[in-house]
Amino acid sequence: MAAARLGRPLPGSSVLFLCDLQERFRGSIVAFPQIVAVAARLLQGCRILGVPALVTEQRPDVLGPTVPELGAQDLPRLPKTAFSMLGAATPLLGDPKIRSVLLCGIEAQACVL
């Protein structure tokens, strides 16, 4: 069986979803600062390549805003009340030009469902 091959993100057909990197998780997620640092580098790379990005926030009224060190203050924020990002991201996923989605978040079994 041939190995899967990952392509490179392309500006016209890729999007980055940054999922639930919020203040309330800072003290409860192991390696949270490192996770945010990697996510920030991924976001910086996407900005250089011209790949659009968006941020989802799980119940921001309860869990707080996205952490500032991510550097995503200028990005659209989509609040959500379900674990899945699908509802929040549906408008972008319906775009036929989008062929690649980069997912970045914590608690992948829940936040990036």
Catalytic residues: 20, 80, 111
CA distances from 111 to 4, 7, 10, 53, 69 (A): 25, 24, 25, 17, 19
Closest Cα partner for 5 from 79, 103, 100, 106?
100
Q: Where are the beta strands (DSSP E) in 23-109?
A: 53-58, 77-80, 100-105
Are 48 and 40 contacting, i.e. CB atoms less than 8 angstroms apart? Answer: no
Q: Rounded to an integer, what distance in angstroms lies between the CA atom of residue 90 and that of residue 104?
A: 17
